[in-house]
Amino acid sequence: GENVEQHPSTLSVQEGDSAVIKCTYSDSASNYFPWYKQELGKGPQLIIDIRSNVGEKKDQRIAVTLNKTAKHFSLHITETQPEDSAVYFCAASIDNYQLIWGAGTKLIIKP
Amino acid sequence: DTAVSQTPKYLVTQMGNDKSIKCEQNLGHDTMYWYKQDSKKFLKIMFSYNNKELIINETVPNRFSPKSPDKAHLNLHINSLELGDSAVYFCASSQVSGRGAFFGQGTRLTVV
């Protein structure tokens, strides 16, 4: 079955710098890759997603890239701000079946 | 207007008790889920329902029983609560199974 690995488990960056979180997946049939942000005391919130027919997608300061050959995808956050501090999860799914989740990355933005 | 709402937000109960968590979504989605998040923040899917029918039932004790009276509601009933059941439980919904899901605020269950 599908397995999703996420790195790093904790990432600390200076405010204003960029942050990159990486995920790898095992099943080449996976075709949907969302990213979620979970703030303290709240549920995960979908922030961006990408499908396998697209290599990159941007939404203001966040972007996701997908490398199907290498089976990995990454979340990029530019010009980080204190409100970006949260736990970020990647996930992957195949043809509308269940999402397989990464273990999460705690992002800390240092002032 | 909350999209996915679950109640209660906090639940403290003694071992052996039976409790329920309710979930409602007003997004018109066809698929609803229950997730368990442990102390290490790992998200584990428990159940998935599509139009009131169970489509995913991961390996969870049969003390956990989901009930979907209609496609807007998915409640979780837990019998004979154990200490290890302590976690945050999230309800979620999506228009299509396996696609972007909207999560509720979570129910923090503490079994003492």
Q: What pLDDT, on a 0 to 100 scale, did the predictor assign at position B1?
A: 65
The pLDDT, as a whole number, for residue B46 is 93
Q: What gap in Å lies between CA B82 and CA B59, rounded to an integer?
A: 16
Cβ contacts of residue A98 below 8 Å, gap of 6+? B45, B48, B56, B97, B98
Q: What is the pLDDT along chain B (112 residues), one digit of tens a residue?
A: 679 999 999 999 999 999 999 999 999 999 999 999 999 899 999 999 888 888 877 778 999 999 999 999 999 999 999 999 999 999 999 988 878 899 999 999 999 9
- What residues in B contact A57, CB-CB < 8 Å? none
Question: Do residue A43 and residue B106 have CB atoms under 8 angstroms apart?
Answer: yes
- Pairs of residues, one from chain A and one from chain B, whose beta carbons lie less than 8 Å apart: 56
Q: Which residues of chain A have pLDDT under 50?
A: none
Identify the residue among A33, A99, A101, A107 best suited for mutation to test binding to B, counting B beta carbons within 10 A and taking the highest: A99
- Residues of chain B with Cβ-Cβ distance to A107 below 8 Å are none
Residue from the list B41, B98, B103 with its beta carbon closest to the beta carbon of A96:
B98
pLDDT at B2: 72
| CB B60 within 8 Å of CB B46 | yes
